[in-house]
Structure 1
Amino acid sequence: MAELLHRIGTFAARRAWTVLVAWMVVLGLAAGGFLIGFKGLSSSFDIPGTASGEVIAELEQELPDFAGATGTVVFHRTDGQPIDGAQQAAIAEVVAGAEGLPDVSGTNDPFATEAERADQAQQIEDGRTELEDGRAQLEAGQAQLDAQREQLEAGQAQLDAGQQQLDAGRAQLEAAGLPTAQLDAQQAQLDAQQAQLDEGREQLEAGQQQLDESRAELEDGEAQLEQGAELLELADGVRLVSEDGATALATISFDLTRLELPQESKDAVMEHVLASPIDGIEASFSTDIAQGVPEILGVGEAVGVALAAVVLVVVLGSLLAAAFPIVTALLGVGIGAMAVLSFSGLVQMASVTPILGVMLGLAVGIDYALFIIYRHRKQLLRGMDVVESIGLANGTAGNAVVFAGTTVVVALLALAITGIPFLALMGVAGAVSVAVAVLIATTATPALLGLAGRRIIGRRAQAKADAAAAASEGATRAATAVRPMSTPRAVVSVLLAVAVLGTIAIPSLSMRLGLPDGGSEAADSTAYRAFTLTEQSFGAGANGPLLVTADLPDGLDDDAVVEQQLAVARELAAQDDVVAVAPVAVSDDHRLAAFQVVPAEGPNSESTEALVRELRSLPPIDGDVTLGVAGQAASNIDISEGLADVLPTYLAVVVGLSFLIMVMVFRSLLVPLIATAGFVLSLFATYGAVTAVFQWGWLGDLLGVPQPGPILSFLPVLLVGILFGLAMDYQLFLATGMREAYVHGAPARLAVAQGFRAGRSVVIAAALIMIAVFAGFIASDSVIIKAMGLGLSLGVLFDAFLVRMLLVPAIMHLVGRGAWWLPRWLDRIIPDVDVEGAKLERRHPAH
């Protein structure tokens, strides 16, 4: 590889314009592909196979109107007074006008909904009044029937007494043999009276039956009325107009899910609302609508690149030389980002996908070019020919760049083992940018150096180098002037580094994962305004209601469905931290019912997370009604849990890969073990620092974190992949020099000092450049980009300065020769990797 890179570097130096024009053609092709293939990005994240995803799939089949994304427009009267009638009408008109926008399936006028709620409440009150009136009428009718029954009973008693007397008289007459004609007439009168009594009794029974039927109807109506009243009472906390009347929530429903909804559709809603301002009313939008694709490059990123340029000028001593790494890095970023985005029409990409590529492309692009230019510049100062120096620098430092870049690419591509599509795509985007950075560093950088000739070192630097060479007694004296560190200093260095990193890592023990909500957005953003207004006016839970589905038994009629809805609503309302429960829909076949559940706290709170788990663990209601939970809060929990589950596996893979690669490079067991342990320590220190800022709120005001919350769910996994690759870069450029000195006969502890002295300047510069570039993203308004920028910048800071430049050299000093021990059988089977091109350097010595 070193010899091939030497030839490529020499060719590029001699055919500079050919190489540069070729890269311009590649840039043009990438731009063309971008113009043709770019179809937009998604601001949402999803993991296939989650519990909430299964609920959404069921809704798409049974209740498609509730499967799509929803967003909220918050209307607030700026003076705090109730929204008046004219303003209500204007809001209703604006909301209704959104129904014709792309992908909008429906809207909800908050005032009409509240009026319907009030009408329902009034109907229930009116129904209760009617029931009371009906009950009073029934009681009066029952009293009349009872009075009639008493009269009939009295008449029956008199009739029975007359019948007895008649029967007794008949018996006496028959005993005396006298005629009974007169008695027969009396009997006929009694029979007529009995017939009248029987008729009255039949009428009484008919009236009682009618009264009983009316009473049954009244009781049924009362039961239905009480069911409706109970459901309305359970849903009392689901409001769209605040109690003071100053704030209203308008719901916008979309046909597509959150992940599928294009940014243009959300932008259209915001443009429509803002195009019709209402006097005295401010409109703000929830994150489902307002969270868009963040800008890739902003002021913060420009400042970061500017700071990197300052470092380059200091290290390279020339404006021309300092410009080359920035030019090549920007070229690589442009090609890499546009190449990846060209496929957005074929593969759905999250909005942060190109951001990662830009971050890494800028950082490693500058660093990789720096390594080659730094080596070339040193060789020129020693009097080497320009073209030969370029070839040698490309074959030595360029070889190390290829190896370092390969480790970063492998680590990023390994994100695919997580099984999470959007994370795998981010890894691919980052890997493409790093691969392009490596190719440009080893081809375009030599071409630029060939065009510049000896101008990159400047007269002052050359004069200084000539003076130093004249006063020097040679490289041997320079080497012997280096002294190994003292053992007490090494012990103190180890203890200090471990103590500092261990202390910073403490907050990671309480790290919670989640996705950002409106409270995490910039304090001056519309999403943050909507979030805070909703929380203040409707309660924290209104920002993240849950969507609960219930699978109902087959064959239920309308009344049975209402009974099941009430049973489910009671069970849901009985859970801790549930403020309100509202039935929202039932499928046509009566097999699926949907409920809106408002939790006590926001979507990222621990109580809401616990509530989702409790609801999912509930046994079937009434023995056969099973529940499912979806909604933004549930989806965030599913995504975070999925990422948390794969983190240990991914960390084990990356750490194992790290160890194997370093065994091959350094032909040692202990050096890889030290380096890997240092990487893990710096990684958890990074987790701890990010947790302290974003979850605990430390320095939140300074860093633009308005409200503490859980850590970005995919950040820990992402940091593992990226920081592993970058850590290997620094380990490579420091430890290979130590090994080279040891192999050439230097004592083990002296070799540590010599290798450290040889590589520290370029590693310090490279680390400062990466920190500056990554830190520039902290200024972003997007909390996702801010978290990534802070995590990466702190990770590089901890790993480069505390681990690679303090902890690892100190431990290697204490271990001495044992650091380079490798079993003979293992030494025979692992390939000999000449990372720094030492063999090439011997074939092409720098004179």
Structure 2
Amino acid sequence: MFDRIAELAIRRSRLVLIVAAVAVALMGIAGAGAFSKLQGGGYDDPTSQSTRAGEAIDKKFGGETNLVLLVSAPEGRIEAPAAKHSGQALVADLKKEQHLENVVSYWDTGSPALRSKDGTNAMVLAHVKGDDTEREKNATSIIDDYTGTRQGDLTVRAGGGAAVNSDLATQSGKDLLLAEAIAVPLTLVLLLVVFGSLVAALLPLVIGIIAIAGTFAELYLLGSATDVSIFATNLTTALGLGLGIDYALLMISRFREQLATGASVDDAVRHTVRTAGRTVAFSAATVAVALAALMLFPQFFLRSFGYAGVGVVLIAAISTLFVMPALFAVLGHRVNKGRLPWAKPGRSDARAPMWGRLARTAMRRPALTALPVLAVLLVAASPLLGLTFGTPDERVLPDDAQSRQVSAALQKNFDGNDAAALHVVIDKPVSKTPLGSYAAELSKLKGVARVEASTGTYTEGQSAAAGPSNAALGRPDAQRINVVSALEPKSDAAQALVEEVRAATPPDRSNPLVGGADAELVDSKDSISSRLPLALGLIAVTTFVLLFLFTGSIVQPLRALVLNMISLGAALGVMTWMFQDGHLSSVFGFTAQPMDTSMTVLVFCIAFGLSMDYEVFVTSRIKELHDQGEDNESAVVNGLGHTGRIVSAAAVLLAVSFFAFGTAKLSFMQMFGLGSGLAILIDAIAIRGVLVPAAMRLLGRSAWYAPRPLKKLHERFGLSEGTPAPAPAAVPEPAAESAYAKDSTGV
């Protein structure tokens, strides 16, 4: 297969490039419309009880409260005549808005729960209509029109779920633009440093552009047919640019290496596709498998990253396999044109003496070199012992975000938090007596401030004054109950309250559904944890199979899985130390809170896939040398000598794309960028540089072991390069020095 690809590139190079240019243009046109198809939200399981409760409320009661307007009278009380008049006018205007329903205010009801303790603030509650995309658009329009200073010196600020999602979408767009503005120029500079040639440095950007344009086109098509998260664009740009560089770096390095040995351009193309192309194909398969596991989760936020991740990996790999060889065939030796002042004449030699010496040291003294590194990684992973999970809320936004400020004011200045109430829905007729008894029992639960039902308001098991709005909670065919607590939203106590409400004895022959923000968190954690074993099993099994087909050994896949888990544990441990425990919060400007469940799973899958990316890079060259007759130690040392610089350069370039998101204002996007970037560097340096050669030394010949039946299976189905091409001549090794003592810079 790879020989046919090489011949196509050699004989029809210009045709391949023309087809690629047309495809990129078409993908760019389609991809330009992707943002109009993508949505916010997507953190909830659509089959969960909380989601079904929300759907029932939308259908029967006009929707849950998702917009809270906090009205302030800074110079007086909210009951003052001028404030009252302005407040009533505000509410009247809101009730005329076609995108709002269930508008309830302090001035309508006189309910003390809608007035602050000091009497200077009042709430207006409403439901913004529409699906996730429409709701976000409608909420943004309402917020723009009604917030700020109004007649009567009232100040209006917006909070609630719809306002939070609006702020998230706005901030996400800003964060993405800033990350790209940092990553792209810095990446270009680093490419020039790595390659020392202007032409060679620009080639990886070609693959990155194709991967990004193709994935945006894919997201446009998928967004037209199903729910796709707007945050998938962040992964598309970071991974598209990074993997495009990774794969192109490997191909360019091998092509230039072959030219340096005196091979003709055509032979260099053939050998590059047969060797580096094979590595790219296997690498892409392992990364795609890890990201495909995200599609097992019901939350379309996670599934969207699976769509984008698999798409960008496959498009990057396909374009690398077809476009890059065609470019090589056209450019030939001109791939080295535009040599920069710091580039040395021997730049095409990819061998790195430092990596060769490091590998030899690790193999000769495996315990002395590996144990300190292993100890550091395990210490870094130790914060995972106290790991707790949550879901995104207003605290992921910067302190000056309006919706976050409103949430803080509601918790501090009001009795109970109506915006964070639990919503109980009974989707059938219920008589008043059992309904009242059920509501009274719920009001006795620890942490409950009050319970609102159509039969009245209850506190501590007793009926209180019924507000005028309570009648709207009952219908002949359904009942709704609001359980308002004084607990901190999404705290352990608030989650425990969800379970207690669900465990309470309901009226006869009824099956209440419990929703609300805290219920959504409980359901989200249950949903992800129930599917996580299947996702991990899929990743482990498919990775094992792919690496077996790649190496012909059952030991190499096991070694790779163990070492990858160590590096991932260290990276996620550091993220827990930062984002959950609060270290470095003042530096990056985030608020410590439980780890975002979805984002933690996402970082794991991305980091695992990219770890396997570098695993394949290194193992490919080691196996190639081993198949050519080198012993285990020589193959590892020479293999790392050839690939160490490629892996380290690729890791730095890819990490830059992710680290750029460390500048984000959304804390979960900071964790996404910093966690992924850190995992990449740990894997490329500590794992590939030290632990892999140490493990290979300890394993010895058994590193390539496979039972006889599996050997035959690999001979039949494993993907090999056929008759190995001779390796470039090695530099003779002095007795006390590495085979790579000769200095070389670049790739």
Task: Please state which band the TM-score falls in when normalised by the shorter chain.
Answer: 0.7 to 0.9
Contact 1:493 1:806 in 2 (8 A): yes
Q: How does 1:76-115 map to 2 (within 5 A)?
A: 76-77=72-73, 84-114=80-110
* C-alpha displacement of 1:538: 1.9
Instruction: Tell me the SS of whatever aligns to 2:545.
Output: helix
Contact 1:545 1:599 in 2 (8 A): yes
- 1:80-118 CA deviation, whole Å, 9 max, x = no partner? 87585434433443343233445322422333333xx3x
* C-alpha displacement of 1:619: 2.9
Contact 1:551 1:627 in 2 (8 A): yes
Distance change (3 Å), C-alpha of 1:753 and 1:610:
same
CA distance in 2, matches of 1:354, 1:588: 43
Match of 1:772 among 652, 656, 661: 656
CA distance in 2, matches of 1:86, 1:839: 90
Greater share of helix: 1
Mean Cα displacement is larger for which, 71-80 or 721-730?
71-80
* C-alpha displacement of 1:340: 1.1
Q: How many residues are matched?
A: 707
- 1:611-643 CA deviation, whole Å, 9 max, x = no partner? 10111122336x666543111221122112211
Name structure 1 gaps, 5 residues minimum.
Answer: 118-235
User: Do structure 1's residue 656 and structure 2's residue 541 form an aligned pair?
Assistant: yes
Match of 1:628 among 494, 513, 536: 513
User: Do structure 1's residue 415 and structure 2's residue 415 form an aligned pair?
Assistant: no
Name structure 2 gaps, 5 residues minimum.
Answer: 454-469, 731-747
2:458 aligns with none
Contact 2:251 2:272 in 1 (8 A): yes
TM-score of the two chains, using structure 2 as the length reference: 0.86
User: Do structure 1's residue 503 and structure 2's residue 379 form an aligned pair?
Assistant: yes
Distance change (3 Å), C-alpha of 1:427 and 1:577:
same
Q: How does 1:599-748 map to 2 (within 5 A)?
A: 599-620=485-506, 627-705=512-590, 707-748=591-632
CA distance in 2, matches of 1:282, 1:526: 10
Match of 1:814 among 682, 691, 698: 698
* C-alpha displacement of 1:565: 4.2
CA distance in 2, matches of 1:357, 1:253: 33
CA distance in 2, matches of 1:639, 1:327: 40
Q: How does 1:184-199 map to 2 (within 5 A)?
A: none
Contact 1:535 1:542 in 2 (8 A): no
Instruction: Tell me the SS of whatever aligns to 1:770.
Output: helix
2:61 aligns with 64
1:533 corresponds to which letter in structure 2? Answer: A
CA distance in 2, matches of 1:793, 1:251: 42
Contact 2:17 2:323 in 1 (8 A): no
CA distance in 1, matches of 2:683, 2:718: 24
1:795 corresponds to which letter in structure 2? Answer: A
Match of 1:252 among 102, 126, 143: 126
Contact 1:266 1:290 in 2 (8 A): no
- 1:158-205 CA deviation, whole Å, 9 max, x = no partner? xxxxxxxxxxxxxxxxxxxxxxxxxxxxxxxxxxxxxxxxxxxxxxxx
2:684 aligns with 800
Contact 1:543 1:603 in 2 (8 A): no
TM-score of the two chains, using structure 1 as the length reference: 0.76
Distance change (3 Å), C-alpha of 1:486 and 1:564:
closer
User: Do structure 1's residue 54 and structure 2's residue 46 form an aligned pair?
Assistant: no
Distance change (3 Å), C-alpha of 1:454 and 1:94:
farther
* C-alpha displacement of 1:53: 2.4
Instruction: Tell me the SS of whatever aligns to 2:497.
Output: helix
Contact 1:330 1:362 in 2 (8 A): yes
CA distance in 2, matches of 1:338, 1:367: 22
1:369 aligns with 248
1:272 aligns with 145
CA distance in 1, matches of 2:573, 2:123: 38
2:738 aligns with none
CA distance in 2, matches of 1:83, 1:316: 71
2:542 corresponds to which letter in structure 1? Answer: L
Contact 1:14 1:387 in 2 (8 A): no
1:284 corresponds to which letter in structure 2? Answer: A
Distance change (3 Å), C-alpha of 1:401 and 1:92:
farther
* C-alpha displacement of 1:772: 0.9
Match of 1:431 among 310, 314, 320: 310
1:330 aligns with 209
1:281 corresponds to which letter in structure 2? Answer: T
1:170 aligns with none
Contact 1:16 1:450 in 2 (8 A): no
User: Do structure 1's residue 45 and structure 2's residue 71 form an aligned pair?
Assistant: no
- 1:525-581 CA deviation, whole Å, 9 max, x = no partner? 222222222222226745521112357775x3xxxx1x4443223211211121222
Contact 2:39 2:133 in 1 (8 A): no
User: Do structure 1's residue 288 and structure 2's residue 166 form an aligned pair?
Assistant: no
CA distance in 1, matches of 2:139, 2:381: 40
Mean Cα displacement is larger for which, 332-341 or 603-612?
332-341
1:569 corresponds to which letter in structure 2? Answer: A
Match of 1:787 among 671, 677, 680: 671
User: Do structure 1's residue 537 and structure 2's residue 425 form an aligned pair?
Assistant: no
Q: How does 1:277-316 map to 2 (within 5 A)?
A: 277=150, 279=153, 281-292=155-166, 293=169, 294-295=172-173, 297-316=176-195
- Residue identity over aligned pairs, in percent, reads 25
- 1:311-348 CA deviation, whole Å, 9 max, x = no partner? 32222112332222224313321231133123323212
* C-alpha displacement of 1:608: 0.5
2:322 aligns with 443
* C-alpha displacement of 1:722: 2.1
- 1:777-806 CA deviation, whole Å, 9 max, x = no partner? 222223342232222122222322222322
2:320 corresponds to which letter in structure 1? Answer: A
* C-alpha displacement of 1:254: 2.9
* C-alpha displacement of 1:463: 11
- 1:136-175 CA deviation, whole Å, 9 max, x = no partner? xxxxxxxxxxxxxxxxxxxxxxxxxxxxxxxxxxxxxxxx
Distance change (3 Å), C-alpha of 1:260 and 1:342:
same
Higher-Rg structure is 1
1:596 aligns with 482
Distance change (3 Å), C-alpha of 1:611 and 1:673:
same
Distance change (3 Å), C-alpha of 1:466 and 1:413:
closer
2:623 corresponds to which letter in structure 1? Answer: R
Instruction: Tell me the SS of whatever aligns to 1:607.
Output: helix
